[in-house]
Each structure stands twice: as structure tokens, then as C-alpha cells.
Chains A and B, each alone.
Chain A
Amino acid sequence: MNFPDDLKYTKEHEWVRMDANIATIGITDYAQHSLGDIVYLELPGEGEVFSKGDTVGVVESVKAVSDIYTPMSGEVSDVNDPLKETPETLNEDCYNEGWLYRLQVNAIEEYDELMDHTAYAAFVKEEQP
């Protein structure tokens, strides 16, 4: 499983890519793999404001429904809306084409609390049956 070293991760299997004060957020390779064929997405709207841990959307595979929790607080500045028409992209490229939304973050220190790729890989290893 692939966990790029330039991203940070959550226990809920989201990833964050920080660029100045903009966080790009998606779900991890482990998440897409566990869900299986992803067929439906609901994403937040631009301009919506969330606190860390809020439910901002949902990812559904054929069999499972999974909430998306925002790993950081802030205002949604961009949404990957075309992805809703091709949710299978999440299975194919969850870190690039499959990004979900961008946040203008208002608490940059939250980034430091996230797991780096080695900590996340260890976490996933433990979670696997």
C-alpha cells in the first residue's frame, strides 16, 4: 500500500497536503482499498466552514457507506466536483486526481498533530485483521 511521504494522515484514513495555508484533503490508499469499488460521493460546498472532526461528506462503495471527517479546521476554498461523476477515480488515483476538497485553514497547528507516513503505515498495520 502506498502512503506518500509528503502527506500527513488521520486515524480516519484521510490525507492532507499542505501548501502555504491551503490544505488539500483526500482519502488514503488504505481507505479506498477497504471500501472497494467507490460508486458515490458527497462533498462539502465551497465557502462552508468546518471544525476539525466535522463530517463534511460521504464516500460510498457498492457495499459500504463511509463518512469523510475533516482533518483540519477552516473554510472550503475548492471542491473536486467533477469527481462526483467519476467516483471510481478514487480507486485509481486517490492522492492526485482523487483529491476531495481544499481548505483555507485557520489553525495551522492542527497539521502538526497529524501522523506522518511512517506513523500512519504503522497504524494501518495494527488496524488490519
Chain B
Amino acid sequence: MTQKTPLYDAHVKLGARMVPFAGWDMPVQYAGVMAEHDAVRTNAGIFDVSHMGEFEFSGPDALACLQWLTPNDVAKLAVGHGQYSLLCNEKGGVVDDIIIYRLEDTRYLMVVNAANIEKDWKWVQTHQKGNAKVTNRSAEFALLAVQGPKAMGIVQKIASTDLSNLSRFACTWSKLNGAGECLIARTGYTGEDGCEIFVAPDKATGLWNALLDAGKPDGLVPAGLGARDTLRVEMKYPLYGHELTDSTNPIAAGLSWVVKLGKPDDFIGRAPIQKVKDAGREIALVGFEMIDKGIPRDAYAIVSNKKIIGAVTSGTMSPTLKRAIGIGYVPVAFAEVGSKFSIDIRGSERVAHVVSTPFIKK
């Protein structure tokens, strides 16, 4: 039985193709992935990401608890700001990738992936420490992402407060037309400017329609999970279940910038991550472009000299570049820009080379 977001009817009305995703019935596309992708890169798109989960941490030890649960330095997080981070397990593997917002002095909101809500909730409950109260508020928020060069201008049209000073990864409360007080965070998963809006579920459809109306002259379109994926692949943003898994070491994944080994607090997974950092990673997550024809796809083997050396984690035809691109893990000896290897595409070896990422220059 799949769950429906509060916007389900709105999607169907817009002619969306609904698909099951992480236990949810989600729109994969409306007009088409390419058109939606282009709209986000040139104007703006609006995504329903209400399937994502939200946990609240509060109480005197909320900070200490988050310092223990996550490898980034939450002590550096000011009120009204967000931080990309991870939940790691004892082996240093990734339980999930998350964003933590500090809403008040001792009140934080952790946003987790839809596919991992139950796993993360169990994890957090069994690993929290100190005098911190953790609440699963996932059902209390719908989440809309407005992304694209014109996104902030569109949201501003229906906002009661000036959003121009909202810096990247900052968050603020603002009253939006027809939706009341919403939490607006200048974050996203597309590589474009924009924001994510946390709204009460019963106000979500009103907000969705208000944004579509306000954004119509600017070319705002509803965009589905298909475009969300091609947009994030072009930025080489990791997607849990593809680039990140319970056995991924964050250093191999290129997330050493998230792991603050210098922070004074201990955190789950510190020792094994430190070990990889000290010894040097054996494999690395790279972005590559096909030289031969063919599109790399998740789980295709990466081959060199007839030997499997790695695996593709994501791949697509880049709608922006019109070239086939992919992300995958290879031994560090193959991780330099320009390194060549082959992708086993349905039994035929096709040459690819490592390129600098993000694939598109922003």
C-alpha cells in the first residue's frame, strides 16, 4: 500500500504520471522529463517532496545528541541556518544523508530521505543520548521545492517578508499567501538557486496552486522525480541507495568536507572514517562522460583490461549537455580527470573518461 502526499490530487489533475517511489505514489513527470529539466535550468520548477521525513530534536542536550549522531560540526550551526550532514553507523557507513536546520537555540529539524524514514527513526531512537527529545514530525509537514534562476523571485511574490537576504542554506519563517507561516530554507537538490518550503499538509495544495499562479509569467512548471534525478546527476549530488549505502565510507564518496574529524565531540563512525582518511581511500566516487555511444545506468560494471574495477551508481543522458554521463566508484588509480575505463553496457564495452564535476558549471 503506497502513501499519498497531500498534493496527490493536484498531481493527477495536472496529468502527472504517478509511480511508486520509496513507498509513496509520486509524480515522475508531467509534460516530460526533458522539458521540466530545462525549465528548472532556465526558469523555475516546483517539486513535491513531501515524502521526505522530518525529525525534531529539542531539549538541553539536543546539540550534544546531534554531535554524537552526525559527523558534521553542529556546534558551528547558527540559529536560522542549515547544514548538510550524514547519519553514520559504527562501521562508518552511511545510514542516510540529511540536512539539519537550527530553528531555535535548542530546537533542530533533521530532514531525512523518504526511503529511510523508518530506518532512521529507529536509528535515532536507539542511538540518541543525553537529555534530548526526538519527535518524528514527518506527517506534520508537506515539503515543496521551488528551484531555478527565477525561483526566489516567484516565492517572493507571495511572501509577507523580504527573502532577498536569505543566504544559501539559511532558513526563515514567512507567511505565504494561502498557506500561513511556512519555514523557507534556501536549499535544494538541483544546483539552481531556490528554496524548500515546509508547510502544513492541509495548506499544501493552496500553496502549490498559489506558486504555480505566481510563477506562470516566469515559466514555472511542475516538475517530477524524473527531472529531479537528472538535475541532481548533472551536479553529481549523491542519492541514497545509489551513491550512498550502509557500507559506503563518506571519504570514498567524496564527502570528507562533511566529516569534521577535528570536532571535539566523538561521533558514531569516527574511528573507521578516520582510518580511511589516514590510510587514504582505495576507491573514489567519480563523474564520467561516455566517449563511445551508450548510456551508463545504475549497477552497470566498470571495466578495465577485462577486469571489473567498479560499478556505476547513477547515469543518464544529460538533458543540459546532450551527452551521456555517469557516476560510479572506481579505484583511486582511475579517479583522475582524464582517466579512461569502459562501461559494460549490455555486454559490450564502451569507453568513458573521468571528467571534472559538477558536470555542468554553475
Contact = CB atoms under 8 A, between A and B. Distances in A.
Contact of B226 (A40, A42, A63): A63
Contacts of A62: 33-34, 226, 230, 316-317, 319
A60 B226 contact: no
A42 B350 CA distance: 13
Interface residues of A, number: 11
Tell me the dominant secondary structure on chain A's binding face.
strand
**Which of the four size classes fits the interface of chain B?**
10 to 19
Interface of B: 17, 28-29, 32-34, 226, 229-230, 293-295, 297, 316-317, 319, 324, 346
Interface in A46-63: 58, 60-63
Residue among B28, B294, B295, B297 having the largest count of chain A Cβ atoms under 10 Å: B295
A63 B295 CA distance: 10
Nearest to B32: A37
Given A62-B34, A63-B226, A63-B229, A36 B29 contact: yes
Tell me the dominant secondary structure on chain B's binding face.
mixed
Given A60-B317, A62-B316, A62-B319, A40 B229 contact: no
A63 B315 CA distance: 9
Contacts of B32: 36-37
A81 to B, nearest CB: 12
Contacts of B293: 40, 42
B297 A37 contact: no
A39 interface: yes
A36 B317 contact: no
Given A62-B33, A63-B226, A40 B317 contact: yes
A65 B29 CA distance: 17
B26 to A, nearest CB: 13
5 contacts: A37-B32, A37-B33, A40-B293, A60-B317, A62-B34
